[in-house]
Amino acid sequence: MTDALRAPNAAPAPSAAAGVATGEPLLSISQLTKYFPIRRGLFGREAGAVRAVDGVSLQVGRGETLGIVGESGCGKTTLGRCILRLIEPTSGQIHFDGIDVRALDPASMRRLRRRMQIIFQDPFSSLNPRMTVGAIVREGLTIHKLAAGAEADNRVRQLLEEVGLRPEYASRYPHEFSGGQRQRIGIARALAVEPELIVCDEPVSALDVSVQAQVINLLQDLQRDRGLTYLFIAHDLSVVEHIATRVSVMYLGKIVELASAADVYREPVMPYTQALLSAVPVPDPAASRERIVLTGDVPSPANPPSGCVFHPRCPHPAKDAACTVIVPPLEEKAPGHVAACIKQPPTTVPWHAQQQAGATRQPERHLPLAAITHGVSP
Amino acid sequence: MTSGVRQDVLLASSAPDGGGAFDRTGATSPWRSALGTLARDRSAMTGLAILAALALIALAAPYVAPYDPRAQPDIVALKYLPPTLAHPFGTDHLSRDVLSRIIVGSRVSLSVAFLSVVVAATVGTGYGAIAGYVGGKLDGLMMRVVDALLSIPRVLLLIAVATLWNGLELAGLVLLLGLTGWFGVSRLVRTLVLSAREDEFVTAARALGATHTRILTHHILPQVVSPVLVAATLAIGNVIVIEAGLTFLGMGVQPPNASWGSVFYDGMRDVGAAWWISISAGAALVITVLAVNLVADGLREALNARQLPAR
Amino acid sequence: MTQPALLTVSDLRTYFYTGAGVARAVDGVSFTIGTGETLGIVGESGCGKSVTALSILRLVQQPGRIEPGSRIMFENQDLLQLDGAGIRRVRGNRIAMIFQEPMTALNPVFTVGDQIAEVARVHASASRRAAWDRAVEMLTMVGIPAPAERANQYPHQLSGGMRQRVLIAMALIMNPALVIADEPTTALDVTIQAQILELLADLQQRLGTSIAMITHDLGVIAEVASRVLVMYGGEVVEEARVETLFTEPHHPYTEGLLHAMPRVGRRQERLAVIPGSVPPPTAWPTGCRFRDRCAYAWDRCAREHPPLYQIGVGHVSRCHLADEPERRTARATAQVSPAAQAAVPGGGA
């Protein structure tokens, strides 16, 4: 549990939980890192690395939905794929139901895949255009020898019905379906092997609003009926708020804030989260138009800023030289609410340490969103 | 500005997206609709008809040929007869009927071409698939090998090997042509596999726990089939010409067996006196290669068109 | 509302003659845009909003065709009657367009400065030097740091947000009367989207340009538009001032869209859904095109194609409920059960 709080170079964190569900977590990762080498020249000399995922630790309890939000290039998709070892992580640990996932040989890994599945963003490229819907859904059954022959046909029909498609569609090809329907096919494929964990990688981003709601509701129904655990990756904060129990915010490969969905949306602590939330257009013309507009673009993950990776764009009034030096630990700011910012009290980085790093401004509480009403929390 | 680009986006987004498409009964497999497109392509169908006719003639050669292609009824009186009703393509220097020799020769020319392309496509696909799928250092090594082999001119290689063996059996010729013809295919396949490997549905199959064999056979190689088919069809025309060339140089099919190359060669002995011999063999060659290319173009059209809705 | 109309589109029909039949992508759309106004056009993919935008500048290509009878009046001329040279004088000059995908809308082999200057050279016959200076000036105006250096860079050297700023600079260089922005922020991250929306609003205020903002995002609409058209099935189904649309939507489709959106800060247990999906433009349903997805639909909706009913001042809706409002209240009371179930497209399960 404490691992979830421990950030790179941080002292052991206080033994408080960041809203972790009770009991043994289903998924626990610590210090997960993925560097993509940048090769240059004729012989592919390594000229640096893109730090796509940079020391991420988190835990996901059984039956919960952990949302991961962030903008493009923040590493959320890479994180999801590293957890499933679809991309081999550079370092760090992954434990799934107590199993050390990274230690598994290829055959054991293939067997474990039955228990952890993925749903993709793009409903067009994620289905093999040369296979019928039935064959696509059936593949997992065949691979894991869960069913064959008429029994498998029956299972496929049941699965299609479960995701809201007509069983007759089994003999059709993916190109005959709309985006929302194709997304349902992808969900049926994942469900076929009866997984416990599903990594949902932007599953509704490519869909229209009305269809998006259908798929979100379907995912929620399935979670309730089957006791699924979701890792829900998205850039759309409103979707994540709707579906997630806890939310973690990523920026440049790191988790910068992690708390229950209610806390993150009611009182975001990390200035990046604040800006991200305030940037979401509110479908209410009467809403106040105050927002924190960040300057500049996200820096390249091949060359992240020193210290706090957010410091070049950070609007926190107490930002100073220390922010460019000290890597902020992911530390508890309120019960069950962790964030990485040395200028938001309380912080485990003492003032004298900050001064040594050139600090000129005392940490001070900065919650600009409290002024902007985002509706009343339940 | 770039309204063309926008138009694609527009058509994609306004394309039939809803339920209407489901009212049709039965499913349209990508392969089946590709065949449908091909069937509507008039020039491809013409090419196919010509090839079918040629193949039939080759199969039935002993029955179709009006004379024994090796018979030399009267080397003096009947040599270099110009085309007549009895000998539509005339006779050659040994008084043999040219039409019969071309008909029988088509067996060699067509079968050598077809079989050697099958060999080349198989070896090339296997090699390229391994390089592309495994990737990394092995890929680099395997592709450097292909680069090296490609840098040797093929005809030179063929002549060298043919001279070394001093005349070849048919099987030898097929192997020789096949084993020197796969480099291009392997490069093509490797590129295709490299990109197919990154397809999201391939990732999905990996996530399901599919083995490498299954991923290759079910998800990656099916995508390679159509480009390889097109490339192979084009290669058939090429190999027919090479085989004729080898034979012409005396390194292919040995007399008294006939192939288009040997008939052409026979005609060249005295092309001034009997031009029709080489012209007939050349015409057979040109028509076949043309027909093959028509079919290849049609295939390319049909198969590409079907790949569109997949994106 | 009382501003003089800058653009008046009446009965616009754009059909695509495809192998699968005639796709009536835009089917009788009429609206106006006032001087200095921002009109939002909202709808889902396939509703015809993008084709409407392309039709205004006559950028629709084969097999698409703007049908006779359509009229697009702009600055006292019918754009559909202009010859090739005439419409080219309007494009990029009096009416400019901003596209969704800033990468594909820019030419990768020319510097961004060249591409912006090109517009000035074509329309104002400016000298090379003057056009370049103007381009740099425009880059400054759209908030690109170090504009003189950036002008010498190629599109791939810029981030997505920067590229969108370049497109905006390109659109505004001739000081057009109308800018058509087709999903200008859809490809961007939220924090960058916020920057771009802010920039557009700011520029509009300074330059007095009219904007047609085409988007699927009701949040964006609420932020920028003063008046909104909701499109569905190639038609305008509702038009209202933005406040009215969000507080008192009339058309069931608008209502559905508003309810289907998850909103930050307003967590609901379950999202309301619009069942099914948009029918293909080759086969719009008879009568009301929304009826097979509509919770209120009754027999009249299948029989009778609804006209645009007047609901209030500047508020119209293409729904027979305007004629029989009691049906809405009847339905609302009957709907206490959680009937808005996991909707199933095609009606299976």
- What pLDDT score does C124 carry? 83
What average pLDDT does this structure show over B154-165? 80
- When mean pLDDT is compared across A170-174, B299-303, C61-65, the lowest value belongs to B299-303
The mean-pLDDT minimum among A363-367, C163-167, C184-188 falls in C184-188
Q: pLDDT at residue B307 above 80?
A: no
Given a cut of 60, is residue C170 above it in pLDDT? yes
Hey, are the CB atoms on B10 and C51 less than 8 Å from each other?
A: yes
Class of domain A16-115+195-264: alpha beta
C 79-118: CB under 8 A from B: 92, 97, 99-101, 104-105, 107
Average pLDDT across chain A, whole number: 87
Q: Which residue of C has its CA nearest to B12?
A: C46
The yes/no answer to whether this complex scores an ipTM above 0.85 is: no
Three-state SS for A269?
coil
Binding partners of B (≥3 Cβ pairs within 8 A): A, C
What pLDDT is recorded for position A106?
94
pLDDT of residue C349: 30
pLDDT beyond 80 at C264: no
Residue pLDDT, tens place only, C43-80: 988 899 999 999 999 999 888 999 999 999 999 899 99
Sign (positive or negative) of CA dihedral A353, A357, A358, A361: negative
Which residues of chain A lie closer than 8 angstroms to B216, CB-CB? none
Mean pLDDT of the A24-35 span: 94
- Residue A314 gets the label, from left (phi > 0), alpha (psi -120 to 50) or beta, of beta
Distance separating alpha carbons of residues C37 and C161, to the nearest angstrom: 24
Question: Residue A369 pLDDT more than 80?
Answer: no
Cross-chain residue pair C274–A213, CB shorter than 8 Å: yes
Write the pLDDT tens digit of every residue in A100-157: 999 999 999 999 999 999 999 988 899 999 899 999 999 999 999 999 999 999 999 9
Kindly determine whether residue B10 and residue C54, on different chains, have CB atoms separated by under 8 Å: yes
* pLDDT, position A315: 93
Per the model's pLDDT, the better-predicted residue between B104 and C337 turns out to be: B104
What pLDDT is recorded for position C342? 37
Per-residue pLDDT tens over the stretch B110-131: 888 899 999 999 999 999 999 9
**β partners of residue B195:** none
**Model confidence at C332, in pLDDT bands (50, 70, 90)?**
low
pLDDT at B56: 92
Q: Which of B6, B19, B20 lies nearest to residue C99, judging by beta carbons?
A: B6
| Cα of C88 to nearest chain A Cα, Å | 34
Query: In chain B, how long is the greatest CA-to-CA distance?
Result: 79
Q: How far apart are CA C234 and CA A212, in angstroms?
A: 21
Residue A42 has pLDDT above 80, yes or no: no
- Determine what percent of chain B is predicted with pLDDT higher than 70: 87
Rounded Cα gap, residues C249 and C237, in angstroms: 11
Does residue B305 or residue C106 have the better pLDDT?
Answer: C106
pLDDT of residue C331: 67
- pLDDT exceeds 60 at position B8: no
Give me the helices (H) in C173-263, please: 190-207, 218-224, 242-247, 252-260
Query: Where do the domains of chain A lie?
Result: 16-115+195-264, 268-378
Residue C101 touches partner A, C-beta closer than 8 Å: no
Closest-CA distance of chain A to residue C223, Å: 6
Of C216, C247, C272, the CB nearest to A213: C272
Residue A137 contacts residue B203 (beta carbons within 8 Å): no
Q: What is the pLDDT of residue C225?
A: 92
- The answer to whether residue C211 scores a pLDDT higher than 90 is yes
Give C 194-253 residues with CB within 8 A of chain A: 194-195, 197-198, 216-223, 242-243, 246-247
B310 and A139 within 8 Å at the Cβ level: the answer is no
Q: C322: which residues sit within 8 A by CB, 6+ positions away?
A: C250, C309, C310, C311
pLDDT at B109: 85
Contact indicator for A209, A242 with CB cutoff of 8 Å: no
Q: Where are the beta strands (DSSP E) in C129-279?
A: 178-182, 210-215, 227-232, 235-241
pTM: 0.82
Nearest to C193 among A221, A279, A374 (CB): A279
Give the type of residue at A284: D
Question: What pLDDT does residue A22 have?
Answer: 52
Mean pLDDT, range A225-253, rounded to an integer: 94
Q: Which band of pLDDT confidence, cut at 50, 70 and 90, is reported for residue B297?
A: confident
Q: Which residue has the higher pLDDT, B94 or C113?
A: C113
Task: List the single residue in C198, C242, C342 with the smallest CB-CB distance to A217.
Answer: C342
Q: At what angle do helices B221-248 and B98-134 cross, to 10 degrees?
A: 140
The answer to whether B207 contacts A118, with C-beta atoms less than 8 Å apart, is yes
